[in-house]
Amino acid sequence: MPENQFGGQQYLLLPEGSSRILGRDAQKTNIAVGMAVANAVKTTLGPKGLDKMMVSDLGDIVITNDGATILEEMNVEHPIGKIMVDIAKTQDKEVGDGTTTVVVLAGELLKGAGDLLEQGVHPTTIVRGYKMAASKAVDIVGQHSREVKAADEAILQKIAMVALGSKNIGDDATKLQIAKLVIRGIKQIIAQDASGNMVIDTDFIKVEKKAGGSIADTQLINGVLVDKEITHPSMPKSIHNAKIALLDVPLEIEKTETDAKIEITSPDQMQAFLNQEEQMLKGMVEKIKKSGANVVFAQKGIDDVAQHYLAKQGIIAVRRVKKSDLEKLARATGARVVTSLEDLGPEDLGFAGMVEERKISGEQMVFVEKCKDPKSVTLFLRAGSQQVVDEAERAIADVIGALSSVIKDGKCVTGGGSIEIDVANGLRNYSSEVGSREQLAIQKFADALEIIPKTLAESAGMDPIETLVQLRNKHRSKGGTAYGVDIFKGSIGDLTKSGVIEPSKVKVQAINSASEATEIILRIDDMISSRSRSRGPGAGMPGGMGGMGEE
């Protein structure tokens, strides 16, 4: 940035080493970065999408085709790239699925905006047109949606299979098995709030993973799996009809926070001191026994002496249990978390048909299962290697997100690019009704949506242009709105027959997030970096930020 000159006096407005890029150059750079991020994940879209391998500085390997995971592991430096990463994360948190879709769509919207900027269309006009198009697109998705209820098991299975489709975690039979497990788990945790509205807190579906076995060994536990071991070897390894106490209190003599000094002048006093400590711990165990509990999960520590007395009473004890696991145990067993042993009574205990310690891949784990009506369940994932079990965990997260979204929202649409073609056709008709220059942006929005069926066709080895033309023609004809890219047949087809169904909420969230991110990026015409040049020109800005003095 040049120094301002007033009467021959020079003033430096930015710290030395700062960099700046502005005007059309800033817009071009931002659009190029956004498109580059989108292209990085584009080939992972759909069931035939390819995986990416990321290797960290420490040599850790991640193999995945989950859009949000790829972008997070890429450690993108450019601020515009970070905006693209953020929309993928938002999509993941809100609906669980469609992370690649939202990034690819945002990249294509930026590309369309770049074309309009070259033609001299003002960024404000493009932003206004994109806002109008996004609002209309959401309306069109709503018009083409159909209702789904939690009881529609067949439709829920199809939605789950689509979410699992792009993940390399076994054959179709295994994926169907996992889909059924997730559906059972979600139905188990459905609750109602004070107003009678449906509530699905997916945090109460605990996903525990362990390499070893095969993906087909994955199971749903009607309870909680705690990745801890029983504290004392003399304790029982399993208990039927367990009465469970959940303690947020240590079973040990706590040290005082202030400095304390105890003077002992004889062996008798020393023995009396030790006996007193032992009696206190014994008293704690007596209170637990008196409540009727035969299983204890403690968030804090359990003294060795207390462990001994618990073992003598035939009580299983597990210590250092995570707070989140304690909450899940409370939801699953009906127990209440107790913060004082004085208050522990039979009414505070929970129930489980079985509490058992089992050895899984060389590690001890405690299974709390066969609960009566658990509002917290555990999906225990198995797979042949750590990479596969990690990818299975990401796949399960996508399925849980997709299913919980469609059950709460109650609406779904056909996938395979068919809904995108419908929306694109609707936007083109809408643009002809808009008399202003915004119609150019609306048409670009429609073109951008078609990147989804085009990319699906490319990944299936089909001709993308020919596929797009065929789909447009089918959707203009009567009864052809369900036609999309049938990946496995390598042609276009009626996707209601193929069972390719997706939640409407995934599409709506993708459209809104991609549109808003694009609008933010297009409104930027000046980028100032105060970072030192010690990391290189335009540090943190791929392609450089340009030097000072580029006005």
From the list 29, 44, 69, 99, the catalytic residue is 99
Question: Can 99 be counted among the known catalytic residues?
Answer: yes
Query: Mind giving me the DSSP string for 336-399?
Result: -EES-GGG--GGG-EEEEEEEEEEETTEEEEEEE--SS-S-EEEEEEESSHHHHHHHHHHHHHH
- Residue in this structure with the two tokens 């929306």, named with its chain if needed: 423
Written as six digits, the tokens of 538 are: 């335009």
Question: Can 43 be counted among the known catalytic residues?
Answer: no
Query: Mind giving me the DSSP string for 222-273?
Result: SSEEES---S-TTS-SEEEEEEEEEE-S-BS-PPPSS-------SHHHHHHH
Question: Which sign does the torsion angle of CA 27, 29, 35, 38 carry?
Answer: negative
In whole angstroms, give the CA distance from residue 527 to residue 22. 6
In whole angstroms, give the CA distance from residue 81 to residue 541. 9
Question: Can 256 be counted among the known catalytic residues?
Answer: no
Query: Mind giving me the DSSP string for 482-514?
Result: TEEEETTTTEEEEHHHHT-EEEHHHHHHHHHHH
Question: Can 422 be counted among the known catalytic residues?
Answer: no
Number of helices and strands in the chain (H, E): 17, 23
From the list 29, 43, 66, 390, the catalytic residue is 66
Q: Is 260 exposed, middle or buried (0-12, 13-18, 19+ CB in 10 A)?
A: exposed
Nearest 5°: the CA angle 331, 333, 338 is: 80
Written as six digits, the tokens of 264 are: 């002992």
Q: Look at residue 537 and give its three-state secondary structure.
A: coil
Q: Which amino acid is at 447?
A: D
Of 520, 464, 474, 514, whose CA–CA distance to 494 is shortest?
474
Q: Are 29 and 544 contacting, i.e. CB atoms less than 8 angstroms apart?
A: no
Q: Are 515 and 102 contacting, i.e. CB atoms less than 8 angstroms apart?
A: no
From the list 325, 398, 486, 494, the catalytic residue is 398
- Crossing angle (nearest 10°) for helices 418-433 and 464-476: 70
In whole angstroms, give the CA distance from residue 270 to residue 263. 9
From the list 44, 100, 414, 455, the catalytic residue is 100
Q: What is the rounded radius of gyration, in angstroms, for the C-alpha atoms of the chain? A: 30
Q: Are 38 and 103 contacting, i.e. CB atoms less than 8 angstroms apart?
A: yes
Q: Are 396 and 215 contacting, i.e. CB atoms less than 8 angstroms apart?
A: no
Q: Are 206 and 225 contacting, i.e. CB atoms less than 8 angstroms apart?
A: yes
Q: Which residues are catalytic?
A: 66, 99-100, 398
